[in-house]
Amino acid sequence: VEVDELTEKVVHATVFVETESQKQIVVGRGGSVIKQIGTRARPEIEALLGRQIFLELQVKTRPKWRRDAAMLERLGI
């Protein structure tokens, strides 16, 4: 997950997957799975930041990102 933008009230983040089929699984039917991920993650992020936020998640396909040293470094892995 990469945080694209962090403002006082909004966190925009991207979840990376390697294939379109993984993306379909993470998004879920009608966005149900990604919504559930956001709902579960938001309280933990709010606790870390010490304030309420709006969490906006998107899912992007990036083939072989787990083997890309530059990408891993960018993500802090």
Q: What are phi and psi of 57, to 5 degrees?
A: -110, 145
Q: What does the mean pLDDT of the chain come to?
A: 95
Q: What is the mean pLDDT of residues 48-54?
A: 95
Structure tokens at 59: 């899912």
H or E segment at 51? Answer: none
> pTM of the full predicted structure?
0.84
Mean pLDDT of 8-25: 96
Q: Regarding the domain delimited by 2-64, which CATH topology (the fold level of the hierarchy) does it fall under?
A: GMP Synthetase; Chain A, domain 3 (3.30.300)
- Using alpha carbons, select from 23, 5, 10, 18 the residue that is nearest to residue 51: 10
Mean pLDDT in residue range 7-14: 94
With a cut of 90, say whether residue 77 has pLDDT above it: no
